[in-house]
Structure formats: C-alpha cells, structure tokens
Amino acid sequence: MLPALALLAAATINLNQLGFRPGDPKQAIVAAPTPAPLDWQILDATGTVVLRGRTTAGTDDAVSGDRVHIATFDTLTRPGAYRLRAAGVESGTFQVAPTLYAPLARNALAVFYHQRAGTPIEARYVGARWARPAGHAPEIAACFAGKDEAGTVWPGCPTKRDVTGGWYDAGDHGKYVVNAGISAWTLQNLYETGFARRLFADGQARLPESGNGRDDLLNEARWEVEWMLKMQVPPATRMALPIGPQPKSTPLTLTPVDAGGMAFHKVADARWTTIPTAPADDRQPRVLYPPSTAATLNLAAVAAQAARLWRTTDPAFAARCLAAARQAWTAAVRNPDIRAATAFTGSGGYGDDNLADERAWAAAELFATTGEATYRAALSDGPATVPGWADVATLGTITLAVADGVPTKIRDNARARIVTAADGFLAEVPRSGYRIPYASQKYDWGSNSNILNRAVLLGLAARFTGSARYRAGAVDAADYVLGRNPLGQSFVSGTGWKPLQNPHHRFWAHQVDAALPPPPPGVLSGGPNNTAMADPVAVKLKGRCAPQRCWADDINAYALNEMAINWNAPLVWVAAYLDAGGSAPTEKAN
C-alpha cells in the first residue's frame, strides 16, 4: 500500500503569499513525491498562462521532510495578480507589485502601538475591533520582597516606582528591559539606515504622535525608550544584589552595592495570568525585579542611540537620554557582573550569563554618539553573528557601520564583518531545501526572528556592497516567513491566503473567547521550535515533526506561536528594507 499512498500524496506549492516586487528574484518550492522535474505554468487573473517552465529535479530535504522542486520565475515582472500551477495543483493568488511591502511594514509597526501599556488603544488608530482600555495605568510597582523560588530572601526597596508605559513584551504583560533593548534598537536602527524615511515620515503611521512633526517610526521607538528611562535606579541607591556567577537553584548570596544608574531587569505580574486576560483586567500586583548588568547595558545602548537620533529634533530629550546612558555605563563599570535573578514566577526569565556582548554594544552606541575614547576602548571587533536578545554585540557592529560620523576605519571594518557574515548566510541557501539563508536543523524559540535578523544583515550587506546577491538572500528569508515553507503558512497575520490566526496572546484571544479579537494584521509568530518544545501543543509534536514543521497555529502553543516585540521588530525592518527596493538616501561622506 505504501507506494500507492506515496503516489496519491498531493503536491503542495509553497511561495511568498504576498508576492514579489517586479525586480526581485521569484521562486516557489513545489513539494511532490516525484523525483523528476515538474512542468509549471503561471496564470494571470483571467486564467491565461503567461509563463511556463520546469522545476529542478526533486531532492529530499530533512529540514522540511519534503521532496523539494524549485520553480524560478524571475522574468515575471509585469505587475498583476497571478497563480502558479504545477503537479496538478494551484497556488493561491499572489501579486507582482512594486508597493507590496509597504502595507506589511506599516502593519508590523502598528503592532507596537497595539502592545502599548499605560494608554488606551484607540479605535481611531486601530479600528473598533482592536480598541481597548489602557492596561496598567498607572503602573506603580514595588520591588520584589521576600523569598523567591530558589529560597533567596530579597529585602525589597523603601519606595514604589512609577514605571507606567512601554510595550508589553509578547503574549504576556511583562515588560523586560533586555528585550525592550533589542526591539527599540531595531526600530531606531531602521530609522538610522534611512530605508524607512518615506514610509514612516510624520503622518504615515496611525499613531497618536502622527502629525507632531517628528518621524513616526522614531516616535514609536521613543514610547519604549521613555519607559526604559523610568527603569533606571536613582543615583546612590544601595541594594543587595548577587555578584558574579552563583550556583543555580540554591539561594543566592546577596551583597550590598551602589546600584545607582543600573536598570531594573523587569516589571511584571507577581503570578502568571490565564489566557484570556485583557491588559485592563489584569489584577495581579506589578513587581519590579532586581537590577541586572545586562538590563543596565541595554539601557545605556538604547538611550545613547536615541540621544544620537533626537539630537537635532529634540535636544532636551536627547540630552536626557545621553545622561542616562552615561550613568548606566558607569553603573555597569561599577557592577560589571550582576546577573539577572530568574527564580521568580509570573514572568519570563531573560537570564544571560555572558555580558561581554552587552558591554560591546553599549560601548559602540556611546562611541557613535560621543566619539569619546573611553567608549572606543571598549569596542569589540569580533565576527558579526545573528543578533538575539541575549547576543547583542552585532547590534553595536551595525551601528558602527551605519551611524554618521564614525571614523572611516572603524566604519569600514564593521561593514566588512557584516558582509562576511552575510556571505556565510548566502552560502547556506543552496544547502537548504526551501532555499533560505539558514541551513541548520536547529529551530530555536522565535526561529522566525533569527531568519529575519539574518535578512537584516543581508540587507545591510546589499547596501554596503551594492550587490544584488545579498538582497536576494533577504528576499529568500521574507519568502520563507510569508509562505515558502513546508507548512505553506504565512507566519504573519492578515497576510496571504493562509495567515497566522491564533497567536499566543492574552488579548487577541479570539480562539478561546469569541468576544475578543483575533490578531490585527502584521503580527509575526515565533515560528517552528524543535529545541524547547515546552508547551502542551509542542509536547504532542515532539519527536514527530521535521524541524520546519514543529509548529501549530494554536493559542496554547506558547513555545511555537507566541508573538513578541523582538520578533516583530525585524519584520518591520525587513519589510521596510524590501519596500525601499534597496535604495535609500545617499549616504553622507564621513
């Protein structure tokens, strides 16, 4: 029976469900049991065949579990709506259009407004379906006091702090300085590259700040930066904190230190709330968790970056940011290895044992902003790697490569490291069944963001070299996230014929409560995860899915299908980059 079944297995056509810009590469993957090349046709909106060709021969791909055939149709450049037919099946309708990525970029940025804490989300910006009352407004939090899960007894702080604002991290209502850092940085970096100047010029996004004369992208990032500033510990505050590495799951040894200028690691609920819980209905006490060196360096980096970007348009804010960044840097010099305590319930850990990369990143931002020798001395010149919330050295490298006024030698060295990394990603494309710049079998928590962060580096390499090969790699990454994957799934809500519908989110919980909305358009799912299959849905898939298939569109699948600010940020970046068609305002000579 098996051969017959294999013959009956339907082919699937997987491609970017949004479509393609006319000048970009165009590929689809046909997954079909036959080894022989397959004929394909492209049909226009009237059903007329406008292009035909033949796929490559089928090859077996362990990462997808598919036998993959590649259809290439770069010559389809005339704008219009099309379908691809092969092996007796047809794809959904995709577009060829120059403006394809602008709505995606705008929707993906709007997600940050939806995630705002401490303010009502208004119908006039998001539509009645997604409007909601303010959550955690105001948010006055006390420091964690008492015994944590590991038995450490924390003394608490004498006063409560107002930490209203910022973005909720993800499907939960925690606000974490380390993840705020890479997320706000990514939006600010997109601004600094110039790729989004037109797209997010004042008035282009739907925000309360639209029309205030300032760039909308920078305004959205500022919402988070303002909150990060509130997370800074006042000068000369003595606190008992854990110094250096300490044994896990036994009580920490706490030592009184001057914590002034550090940043609290996070503010979050005392206990996990259930799904669904609208932000305004969260009744848990909000708790500030102990400062960490990682959070402190994230604050230093992002505030220094903001100081640079607001210098001419809001000098007072820029000065406030720079002062905070300098204080944070000094605090991290004084307290170089205070690791985030993670034995608390009710929120994510975001623990990190390597702080060298946070230090290098903060140094790069402060150096790019001030040019001072202290910061220059702390720069790192290691290889560029895929950034993530715990691995941020490359964010500094990117800043050295793009910021105005960085000395040419340092700038060019940073650019060369980024191009080398991009070359590595391009070399993975032919080794990957679905032809993406990532050939590993390892799909980590938030894998879609790793693939998009590769596209960020590829987009930068395209800019630095003028070579279209790198842009093609970024297109491959976007194609994957928008449907060219074995699930035929667009991992972005509101985008394509099979979009994300049920992310793990406490408010967009339509799947479990019909009164609540589905996700707004532009939300990115974390994506396949075969390394930490922790949630109840993932547990059932474990050991039974090819890496790229370890995913489900289910609200309970928090390890596979959550959304998060650090994942949506590179989606904004990549969509804006692709929309810009690789062009951006000519750079100033340094």
Q: How far apart are CA 474 and CA 265, in angstroms?
A: 33
> What's the first-to-final CA gap in the chain, in angstroms?
69
Asked whether position 445 contacts ligand 9MR by CB under 6 A, the answer is yes
Judge contact between 31 and 50, C-beta under 8 A.
Answer: no
Q: Which does 169 bind (CB under 5 to 8 A by kind): ligand 9MR, Ca ion, none?
A: ligand 9MR
Q: Considering beta carbons, is residue 9 or 532 the nearer one to ligand 9MR?
A: 532
Asked whether position 390 contacts Ca ion by CB under 5 A, the answer is yes
Q: How far apart are CA 499 and CA 491, in angstroms?
A: 6
Kindly indicate which of the ranges 125-133, 386-394, 420-428, 524-532 contains the residues binding Ca ion, using the contact rule CB under 5 A.
386-394
Asked whether position 174 contacts ligand 9MR by CB under 6 A, the answer is yes
Asked whether position 169 contacts ligand 9MR by CB under 6 A, the answer is yes
Q: Considering beta carbons, is residue 349 or 581 the nearer one to ligand 9MR?
A: 349
Q: How far apart are CA 197 and CA 229, in angstroms?
A: 26
Asked whether position 357 contacts Ca ion by CB under 5 A, the answer is yes
List phi, psi (to 5°) of 171.
-75, -15
Q: Which does 354 bind (CB under 5 to 8 A by kind): Ca ion, ligand 9MR, none?
A: Ca ion
DSSP state of 588: P
Q: How far is the CB of 346 from ligand 9MR (least distance, A)?
A: 10
Tell me which of 169, 553, 554, 579 is the catalytic residue: 553
Crossing angle of helices 356-370 and 393-402, in 10° steps, is 20
Q: How far is the CB of 564 from ligand 9MR (least distance, A)?
A: 4
518 to 537: interface string for ligand 9MR, x by CB under 6 A: --------------x-----
Kindly indicate which of the ranges 241-249, 305-313, 348-356, 416-424 contains the residues binding ligand 9MR, using the contact rule CB under 6 A.
348-356
Contacts of 314 (CB under 8 A, 6+ apart): 214
Residue 215 annotated in active site? no
Q: How far apart are CA 124 and CA 79, in angstroms?
A: 32
Tell me which of 504, 505, 510, 535 is the catalytic residue: 504
Q: Considering beta carbons, is residue 261 or 570 the nearer one to ligand 9MR?
A: 570
Kindly indicate which of the ranges 31-39, 165-173, 219-227, 430-438 contains the residues binding ligand 9MR, using the contact rule CB under 6 A.
165-173
Q: Which does 103 bind (CB under 5 to 8 A by kind): ligand 9MR, Ca ion, none?
A: none
Asked whether position 352 contacts Ca ion by CB under 5 A, the answer is yes
Q: How far apart are CA 338 and CA 304, in angstroms?
A: 21
The residue of the chain with the least Cβ separation from ligand 9MR equals 348
Asked whether position 172 contacts ligand 9MR by CB under 6 A, the answer is yes
Residue 352 annotated in active site? no
Asked whether position 564 contacts ligand 9MR by CB under 6 A, the answer is yes
Q: How far is the CB of 358 from Ca ion (least distance, A)?
A: 5
Residue 553 annotated in active site? yes
Q: How far apart are CA 460 and CA 446, in angstroms?
A: 22
Determine the 3-state secondary structure of 363 from DSSP.
helix
| Class of residue 145 by CB neighbours under 10 A (exposed 0-12, middle 13-18, buried 19+) | exposed
- Other Cβ atoms closer than 10 A to 129: 11
Nearest to 535 by CA among 548, 546, 524, 526: 526
**DSSP E strand stretches across 32-190:** 39-44, 49-54, 59-61, 66-72, 80-86, 89-90, 94-96, 140-143, 146-147, 153-154, 161-162, 175-176
Enzyme catalytic residues: 504, 553, 562
- List contacts with Ca ion (CB under 5 A): 352, 354, 357, 390
Q: Which residues lie near ligand 9MR (CB under 6 A)?
A: 169-170, 172, 174, 348-350, 445-446, 532, 562, 564
